[in-house]
Amino acid sequence: MIKDFEGYTEELSDDELKLVPAFCAGLKSKIGKENAITNKAIQKAFQENEKWNLKIPDARVRKIINYIRVNGLGKGLCASSNGYYVAKNQEELEGYLEGLKQRIRSQLSVYDALEFQYIEWKKFGCL
């Protein structure tokens, strides 16, 4: 779990783990950016499906996607502003990896700046 985001990042429940095969099956057909499926569309599919009839919060959809990726259950599973998709070729996966690296660098820049401010605060007692 991630501090201050526990409700969103807690481990998958047994019920959520039962959804993983259905997620994997649905994502397999989403080959290429042009076939991406949004978080909202995934939610709607589970809510309107007679078998599931479930409301899945968007943060839990992201957590299930994370679980699939981390456990190697969906090879090349990428995301864009248009939704989730499976990379159709090496270039698509490379592009996603580059964007991911850029987001990580951006977060590290924020971390470094805040850490510096924290050190200054500890030294001088003010922000």
pTM of the model: 0.89
How many Å apart are CA 111 and CA 121, to the nearest integer? 15
Dmax of the chain from CA atoms? 61
Enumerate residues 6+ apart whose C-beta is below 8 A from 96: 78, 79, 80, 87
pLDDT at 127 over 80: no
The owner of tokens 């924020």 is 110
pLDDT band at 4 (very low <50, low <70, confident <90, very high): confident
**pLDDT recorded at residue 7:** 75
pLDDT digits (tens, 9 = 90+) for 33-73: 999 999 999 999 999 999 999 999 999 999 999 999 999 99
Average pLDDT, the chain: 94
Asked if residues 16 and 8 have their Cβ atoms less than 8 Å apart, the reply is: no
CATH code, 1-88: 1.10.10
Q: Which H or E element spans position 98?
A: helix 90-124
pLDDT digits (tens, 9 = 90+) for 108-124: 999 999 999 999 998 88
